[in-house]
Amino acid sequence: MTPDPRHDESDFLANYDPRDYDPVAVTVDVVALTIRDGALHVLLVRRGSAPYAGMWALPGGFVQAGGPLQGAEAEDLPDAAVRELAEETGLSAKGGALGRVHLEQLGTYGSPGRDPRMRVISVAHLAFAPELPDPEAGGDAADAAWVPVEALGLTESGGQRPGTTRRLAFDHARILSDGLERARAKLEYTPLAAAFCGGEFTIPELRAVYEAVWGEELHAGNFHRKVLSVPGFVESTGATSDRGGRRGGPRPRLYRAGDARLLHPALLRPSREEEIR
The least CB distance from residue 127 to a copy of itself, in Å, is: 15
Options 19, 117, 243, 277; binder of DNA; rule CB under 7 A: 243
CA–CA separation, 98 and 129 (whole Å):
8
Options 96, 253, 261, 262; binder of DNA; rule CB under 7 A: 253
| Binding status of residue 23 toward a copy of itself by CB under 8 A | yes
| Binding status of residue 72 toward DNA by CB under 7 A | no
Options 6, 19, 117, 247; binder of DNA; rule CB under 7 A: 247
Smaller CB distance to a copy of itself: residue 38 or 231? Answer: 231
Smaller CB distance to a copy of itself: residue 219 or 264? Answer: 264
Please return the burial class of 41, using the count of CB atoms within 10 Å of its CB with bins 0-12, 13-18 and 19+: buried
Smaller CB distance to a copy of itself: residue 131 or 188? Answer: 188
The least CB distance from residue 102 to DNA, in Å, is: 23
Options 31, 33, 86, 115; binder of a copy of itself; rule CB under 8 A: 115
The least CB distance from residue 6 to a copy of itself, in Å, is: 9
Smaller CB distance to DNA: residue 164 or 241? Answer: 241
| Binding status of residue 204 toward DNA by CB under 7 A | yes
| Binding status of residue 155 toward a copy of itself by CB under 8 A | no
The least CB distance from residue 247 to DNA, in Å, is: 4
CA–CA separation, 45 and 141 (whole Å):
6
Q: How many CA atoms lie within 13 A of 100 on its CB side?
A: 16
3-state secondary structure the chain: CCCCCCCCCCCHHHHCCHHHCCCCEEEEEEEEEEEECCEEEEEEEEECCCCCCCCEECCEEECCCCCCCCCCCCCCHHHHHHHHHHHHHCCCCCCCHHHHCEEEEEEEECCCCCCCCCCEEEEEEEEECCCCCCCCCCCCEEEEEEEEHHHHCECCCCCECCCCCCCECCCHHHHHHHHHHHHHHHHHHCCCHHHHCCCCECHHHHHHHHHHHHCCCCCHHHHHHHHHHCCCCEEEEEEECCCCCCCCCCCCEEEEECCCCCCCCCCCCHHHHHHHC
Question: Which has the closest alpha carbon to 177: 118, 240, 109?
Answer: 109
Smaller CB distance to a copy of itself: residue 13 or 247? Answer: 13
| Binding status of residue 274 toward a copy of itself by CB under 8 A | no
Options 41, 42, 61, 146; binder of a copy of itself; rule CB under 8 A: 61
Options 65, 151, 220, 239; binder of DNA; rule CB under 7 A: 220
Options 225, 239, 261, 262; binder of DNA; rule CB under 7 A: 225
Options 36, 90, 102, 121; binder of a copy of itself; rule CB under 8 A: 121
The least CB distance from residue 238 to DNA, in Å, is: 12
Which residues lie near DNA (CB under 7 A)? 202-204, 219-222, 224-226, 228-229, 243-253, 265-268, 270
